[in-house]
Amino acid sequence: MQFEAFAAAAADIEAEAADTDIVARVADLFREAGPALPIVARFVQGRVFPAYSETKLDIGPNYCYEAIARAAGQNVSADDVETRLADVGDIGEVAASYDFGGQRGLGAFGAGAGSGGNGDDLTVEEVYEELESLAGAEGSGSQDEKITVLFGLFNRCSSQEARYLARLVLSEMRIGVGEGAVRDAIAQAFDIPVESVERALQVTNDYGLVAEVAREEGEDGLDDLHLEVGRPVQAMLAQAGTAADALEEWDEVGVEWKYDGARVQVHFDGESVGVYSRNMEDVTAALPEVVEYIEAHLDEPAILDGEVVAVDDEGEPLPFQEILRRFRRKHEVERMREEVKVELRAFDCLHVSGEDLLDAPLVERHNRLADLLPAEAVSELTVTDDAEEIARIEDAALEAGHEGIMLKNPESTYSPGKRGKNWLKRKPDVETLDLVVTGAEWGEGRRANFLGTFLLSAWDDDAEAYVTLGKVATGITDEQLADLTELLEPHIRSQDGQEVDLESAVVFEVGYEEIQESPTYSSGYALRFPRFLGVRDDKDPDDADTLERVERLAESQ
Ligand SMILES: Nc1ncnc2c1ncn2[C@@H]1O[C@H](COP(=O)(O)OP(=O)(O)OP(=O)(O)O)[C@@H](O)[C@H]1O
């Protein structure tokens, strides 16, 4: 495909406003692209190489300005280019403003310039090959080489071509084509259901490949694409959520500790290990412990998802920043290794021995994972419908120095790159409330001799009275119940069946997930999912939180 035709299409696309028109125009471009289709499918998003590719252009803006200046002619310097850029703010526009064709033949830097003027037959494939060679240039003199290659390209560009070449090189394509638009355009161009294209993109992460397979082999070909060890896929992501949300959505909840480390995808082909970061960069060299651990313990080819955590000498977790230090100082791995130890906590398994598990339910994937590695390297997954148990796991996670918990739909498949509702991250209560206990209920059965459920209140200045906010029964051990009963019994004012009325004397610190407006309690608010955190022995009821603070917190949520 002529680069001029690509540039013309890019200009058309840029001029479209509506998403459907953009998709339609991109689909046309894909149909016209011929053998250049895989390249065009990336260029149109401003990408030269596939997202997972190790090859990066890695060219500083200054080199691009220099190349443009050289192509523009002897009177133009890189500084001039930069000054113009400061005025217009778009490198494409700056590049398009020079008349490269008119300058041709001045050619002391003639690389690649020989053939032409405007309308030169520069093809998309040639642009790609040149950029690939440029990305490969290493060592001393490589920057000069890069400038020369780029100069050669600009020198053959019309003004429209220069506009999109400059933007492509500096990763500033910005013609309004995102991943979703390319996905939809592939589906439209080759008449394939969007879901098939989407799935193929998830497993390959390669827009060029998917576009080509869609055209050549249709839906069946796309369905035949699979995960490949060594080709990272995007990580499944989480939304913020609460235990109450999870219990409302699903019959049961898969609960895991949320480790505070760095996300990694571990690829093992049976012999060697590749470790990729959340944005799919190869971080194998920075994490030799992970490589050694996998080599020593994993017997089958597999793709695992997990977190690397930094630990101290006792194996206690260290803050996330420690891991970042490892990534930053990757040239000093051996020394850093002495300073900051890292360990893998795998929590998912995407592929084992040639079998893709993306469509298997979480519980099955986790079982497969548990079969592959020693328990120490695998997250513990508890499936439960019990709010108390979730609270206990959260307490244990925080106690062990971790960030909180993850709540996962046990039935859910693995969706790469999706921040959906099947994974919820629950971080600990940011705010807590100190509330006065104004009532309680006697327990039942084994707990009949203990006060069990506690009514929580805050002082309302206007009403000059305590108003109720909710009842807490979660987060309390049997032992604590005995102590609390002993503490509160002397303050019982009256009793009606199971329910007791208490004088204001004891203050509880409680966590909660949300404050909702609600007619259920006399304050007009209700705490969602309140949890007992402790008795504030150090506080009198007068020092407890007031309705005013509750109102403020409710507003700021
Ligand atoms: N057991 C676990 N299961 C899934 N993710 C976990 C687990 N433990 C720790 N994590 C980390 O938590 C992240 C989930 O939150 P999210 O997808 O929003 O990522 P994030 O944007 O990096 O958020 P955060 O800053 O909260 O980690 C994962 O990317 C992973 O790095």
Structural domains of the chain sorted by starting position, each given as residue range(s) with its CATH number in brackets? 47-169 (1.10.3260.10), 237-426 (3.30.470.30), 433-556 (2.40.50.140)
pLDDT category at 317 given cuts 50, 70, 90 is confident
Q: How many CB atoms lie within 10 A of CB 512?
A: 24
- Tell me what the mean pLDDT of segment 453-467 comes to: 95
Torsion of CA 69, 60, 234, 29, to 10 degrees: 0
Q: Taking 50 as the threshold, does the pLDDT of residue 180 lie above it?
A: yes
* Protein residue whose Cα sits closest to atom 26 of ligand 1: 425
Rounded-to-integer distance, Cα 215 and Cα 409, Å:
36
Residue 354, classed as helix, strand or coil, is coil
Give residue 307 CA to ligand 1 midpoint distance, Å. 8
Residue 258, classed as helix, strand or coil, is strand
Position 350: which residue type?
Answer: L
Class of residue 371 by CB neighbours under 10 A (exposed 0-12, middle 13-18, buried 19+): exposed
Q: How many CB atoms lie within 10 A of CB 12?
A: 16
Select from 303, 295, 299, 294 the least CA-distant residue to 228.
303
Give residue 398 CA to ligand 1 midpoint distance, Å. 15
Cβ-count burial 291-309 (b if 16+ within 10 Å, e if not): bebbeeebeebbbbbbbbb
Phi, psi of 545 (to 5 degrees): -70, 145
Which of 253-267, 315-329, 376-390 is the least confident region?
Answer: 315-329
**What pLDDT score does 327 carry?**
75
Position 320: which residue type?
Answer: F
- The answer to whether 51 touches 233, Cβ cutoff 8 Å, is no
Instruction: Give 13-67 pLDDT, tens digit per residue.
Output: 999 999 999 999 999 999 999 999 999 999 999 999 998 888 888 788 889 999 9
Structure tokens at 516: 């909702």
Give residue 238 CA to ligand 1 midpoint distance, Å. 7
**What pLDDT score does 60 carry?**
80
Instruction: Give 348-390 pLDDT, tens digit per residue.
Output: 999 999 999 999 999 999 999 999 999 999 999 999 999 999 9
Annotated catalytic residues are: 258
Q: Name all residues whose Cβ lies below 6 A of ligand 1.
A: 235, 237-238, 256, 258-259, 263, 307, 347, 379, 406, 425
* Protein residue whose Cα sits closest to atom 8 of ligand 1: 258
* Protein residue whose Cα sits closest to atom 25 of ligand 1: 260
Establish whether 347 is an annotated binding residue.
yes
Rounded-to-integer distance, Cα 220 and Cα 31, Å:
19
- Tell me what the mean pLDDT of segment 402-414 comes to: 95
Which of 120-124, 371-375, 390-394 is the least confident region?
Answer: 120-124
- Tell me what the mean pLDDT of segment 450-468 comes to: 95
Atom of ligand 1 lying closest to residue 256 CA: 1
Q: Taking 50 as the threshold, does the pLDDT of residue 108 lie above it?
A: no
- The answer to whether 122 touches 161, Cβ cutoff 8 Å, is yes
* Protein residue whose Cα sits closest to atom 7 of ligand 1: 258
Give residue 502 CA to ligand 1 midpoint distance, Å. 43
Point out which residues pair with 455 in neighbouring strands: 439, 471
Point out which residues pair with 265 in neighbouring strands: 276, 305
Residues whose CB falls within 8 Å of the CB of residue 74, separated by 6 or more in sequence, listed in order: 106
Rounded alpha-carbon distances, angstroms, from residue 56 to 48, 153, 170? 8, 18, 12
Position 378: which residue type?
Answer: V
Rounded-to-integer distance, Cα 56 and Cα 478, Å:
59
Put residue 244 in one of left, alpha, beta given phi > 0 → left and psi -120 to 50 → alpha: alpha
Atom of ligand 1 lying closest to residue 238 CA: 17
Establish whether 307 is an annotated binding residue.
yes
Which of 45-59, 107-121, 308-322 is the least confident region?
Answer: 107-121
Select from 129, 116, 128 the least CA-distant residue to 158.
116
Select from 78, 81, 80, 103 the least CA-distant residue to 94.
81
